Amino acid sequence: MHLGAGMFVAADVHYLASGGARAAASAAADAAFSCLTAERVALVAHVEPYQPGQFWRRELPPLRSALDGLDQMALLIIDGYADLDPDGRPGLGARACAEFGVPVIGVAKSAFRTATHAIAVRRGTSARPLYVTAAGMPRADAADLVRHMAGPHRIPDALRRADTLARHGLPLQ
């Protein structure tokens, strides 16, 4: 699958003890994220409480803050699910796809009971798979991209970096 020219972005959100959230994004010029070219961090003072099956209500506003102004985005990779079941019940990734107008790959670290359609991807030497779903592109293509993303470990480097930024802040200067 050919993705358009632009920025490839991996993003994550961390919830703060204060009740707010810190969202972060790492970007590259290629879908393998072979060289990160930009980072950003955004703080959000208030987030919605967690509601089962409605995770996107909590996660999308902080992502919106971190991604605001990234007009050249060609692909977004999130920590989570794009859709929640084989019938296409929208999850965070599907909502982000609609919001930002780009394909979204959901990369989850744990299995979700109804997401039986997710493709298990093993990376590095880990026996534990990642669970890949997608919105705006075929799942098999998304799984192939995740399989080939930079980094020797289970979690691709770009997602690991977005997680670190979301937890601790401090993007590179």
Residue 13: per-residue pLDDT: 96
Residue 173: per-residue pLDDT: 47
| Residue 173 forms part of a structural domain | no
| Residue 2 forms part of a structural domain | no
| Residue 163 forms part of a structural domain | yes
Query: Residue 91 carries which side chain, given as an amino acid letter?
Result: G
User: Tell me: the pLDDT tens digits for 78-91?
Assistant: 999 999 999 999 99
User: Tell me: the pLDDT tens digits for 20-65?
Assistant: 999 999 999 999 999 999 899 999 998 888 777 677 888 999 999 9
19: containing domain: 7-168
| Residue 80 forms part of a structural domain | yes
Least confident span in 27-36, 55-64, 128-137, 142-151: 55-64
Residue 5: per-residue pLDDT: 64
What total number of domains does the chain contain? 1
How far is residue 9 from each of residues 14, 87, 127, 162, measured CA to CA in Å? 17, 27, 26, 9
| Residue 92 forms part of a structural domain | yes
Sheet bearing 73-79, strands edge to edge: 36-44, 21-28, 7-15, 73-79, 104-108, 130-135, 119-121
| Residue 95 forms part of a structural domain | yes
DSSP for 126-161, written as a single string: -SSPEEEEEESS-HHHHHHHHHTSS-SSSS-HHHHH
- 136: domain CATH number is 3.30.2170.10
